[in-house]
């Protein structure tokens, strides 16, 4: 659904409360900044900005339609700690080309919601490479979405969803936690916590 350029997604309404609860319990309330990778409609970013009013929220996406929606939601929210979105392809070596906020390479938190299963595996690799490069000391990377555990789906519905993803795009699919850990290790990060979420999703926290 759209309203003056703002995209309203069903997935957002199903998960944002649970995601914000985890952020409040797992992330220091006084962090300097949050970069969201693949901000989509922009609705989650509005909630981050409300939950962390003293934190700079930096939004990004690769889809022009989403960039328009994010800008519209930011304008609608009137929140002053939100930055307008910038175009970001996580596979690019230099993420700061369109985002001067990233030049210091001192991000407190990078978060990505429902991205790694609807993009090629190379994008997950790029995400971890960028996180290793742009996170500051003690910075965290948080991923939300469905993940396999030890090579197995965590539920019949996730197995069905994975089949649907791959039928739509063979390069998509639910990723395994072990695979994410390997990407993390290659970039100086490690998995410090995984948290079960509703609808057979997980939050993975790397540091």
* Residues 93-122: tens digit of each pLDDT: 999 999 998 999 999 999 999 999 999 999
Write down the pLDDT at residue 4. 86
Closest CA to 86 of 74, 77, 76: 74
- Please report which confidence band the pLDDT of residue 73 belongs to, taking 50, 70 and 90 as the band edges: very high
- Of 85, 130, 125, the residue nearest 110 (C-alpha): 130
Give percent of the chain with pLDDT exceeding 70.
100
* pTM (2 d.p.): 0.97
Q: Domains in the chain, please, with CATH?
A: 2-206 (3.40.50.150)
pLDDT of 53 higher than 80:
yes
pLDDT at 1: 65
Measure the CA–CA gap between 180 and 33, rounded to whole angstroms.
24
**Which runs of E-coded beta strand occur in the chain?**
2-3, 6-7, 33-37, 56-61, 82-87, 107-113, 135-145, 147-148, 175-176, 191-197, 201-206
pLDDT band at 2 (very low <50, low <70, confident <90, very high): confident
Which band of pLDDT confidence, cut at 50, 70 and 90, is reported for residue 191? very high
């Amino acid at each position: 659904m759209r309203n003056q350029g703002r995209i309203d997604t069903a997935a957002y309404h199903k998960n944002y409360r649970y995601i914000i609860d985890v952020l409040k319990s797992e992330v220091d309330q006084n962090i300097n900044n949050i970069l969201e990778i693949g901000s989509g409609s922009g609705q989650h970013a509005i909630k981050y900005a409300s939950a962390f009013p003293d934190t700079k929220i930096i939004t990004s996406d690769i889809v022009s339609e989403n960039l328009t929606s994010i800008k519209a939601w930011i304008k609608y929210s009137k929140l002053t700690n939100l930055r307008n979105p910038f175009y970001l392809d996580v596979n690019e070596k230099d993420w700061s080309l369109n985002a001067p906020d990233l030049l210091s390479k001192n991000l407190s938190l990078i978060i990505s919601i429902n991205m790694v299963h609807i993009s090629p595996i190379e994008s997950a690799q790029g995400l971890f490479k960028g996180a290793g490069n742009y996170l500051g000391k003690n910075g965290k990377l948080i991923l939300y979405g469905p993940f396999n555990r030890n090579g197995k789906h965590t539920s019949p519905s996730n197995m069905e969803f994975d089949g649907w993803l791959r039928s739509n795009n063979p390069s998509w699919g639910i990723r395994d936690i072990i695979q994410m850990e390997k990407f993390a290790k290659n970039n100086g990060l490690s998995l410090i916590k995984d948290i079960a979420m509703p609808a057979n999703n997980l939050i993975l926290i790397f540091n």
